[in-house]
Amino acid sequence: MVKVFVKLYPWENLRVYECDSVVEIGESVVVATEYAHELGTVEKVEGTDSSKEVANEKILRVATERDKEVFAEYEAKKEEFIDNCKEAVRKMGLEMKVIDARISLDGKQIMFVFTAEGRVDFRDLVKDLSKELKRSIRMQQIGTRDEARRLGGFGICGRDLCCVNFPGSIQSITTEMARIQQIAHRGTERISGLCGRLMCCLSYESEQYKKLLEGMPELHSVIVTKEGKGMVVEINAVKQEVKVKLESGQYVNIKKENL
């Protein structure tokens, strides 16, 4: 028995399933979700004891050629369904943006994915779409970061978006991470990604900076040095030194071990 990490939807984190047989990375599998059977792609395989992730259920089977054909047929039709949903949203004046859809393998259910600033009452929308499309309708709201993961793109570094490169759970990014790395003063626009949220890469070195800053004074704090009392105006965590403006107006750089 192994744990298999499966990518079901391009806007969602990996799901974990158990599997009795051997499956390979990149292989298509059929899994049971809460509402229907879906086709997914194997992203990672681990031993049962090597991961703390809790498995959802077991993988039903490795996808057959027929499964793949049915999935492709429904994918080709989804734009038509998305257009129908967008038109219904427009008529009802709902504040939501429909960005994707997924049809279950049995063809009986359509899940529409949307973004919105707040909560949306889509009950009447679901009723109308069910009558028009003759299928069970589900609506799923996702965040702007999940939307960016689905659409893809390039960051200011010139590389693929982090949320696309790393298919696991998206870590919560906080302003504290930017403050620790002393880049919060640049403004949210310069440290935000395409999704409008703080860039994922702010988390990469935040723990290292926390350790480097241990035992160092806070910015703008007043300290006593060999040269006299002064205010900390700059902290260089990498060089392990601070820049101090003395009461005399003179600036001095002091190593952490000399504080």
Helix axes 123-133, 65-92, angle to 10 degrees: 130
pLDDT at 189 over 90: no
Could you report the per-residue pLDDT of 134-172, keeping only the tens digit for each?
999 999 999 888 888 888 889 888 888 888 887 666 778
d(CA 219, CA 204): 22
For the chain, percent of residues with pLDDT exceeding 70:
95
d(CA 192, CA 200): 9
Virtual torsion, Cα 64, 67, 72, 73, nearest 10 deg: 140
Over range 16-45, report the average pLDDT. Answer: 90
Nearest to 13 by CA among 53, 72, 61: 53
Over range 68-79, report the average pLDDT. Answer: 94
* Higher-scoring residue by pLDDT: 115, 188: 115
The listed CATH number (3.90.1200, 3.30.2320, 3.30.300, 3.30.450) that belongs to domain 68-142: 3.30.300
- pLDDT at res. 52: 64
Over range 35-58, report the average pLDDT. Answer: 78
d(CA 146, CA 31): 22
d(CA 203, CA 190): 16
pLDDT band, residue 49 (cuts 50/70/90): low
- pLDDT at res. 1: 77
- pLDDT at res. 41: 94
- pLDDT at res. 104: 93
d(CA 255, CA 244): 11
- pLDDT at res. 28: 95
User: Amino acid letter at 206?
Assistant: S
Q: Among 1-10, 47-56, 124-133, which is the least confidently predicted range?
A: 47-56
For the chain, percent of residues with pLDDT exceeding 90:
46
- pLDDT at res. 48: 59
Contact 136, 129 (CB under 8 A): no
Q: What is the average pLDDT score of the chain? A: 89
d(CA 15, CA 13): 6
Over range 63-83, report the average pLDDT. Answer: 95
- pLDDT at res. 168: 66
d(CA 21, CA 148): 34
- pLDDT at res. 58: 85
- Show me where the domains of the chain are located: 2-63, 68-142, 157-209, 222-258
Phi, psi of 162 (to 5 degrees): -60, -40
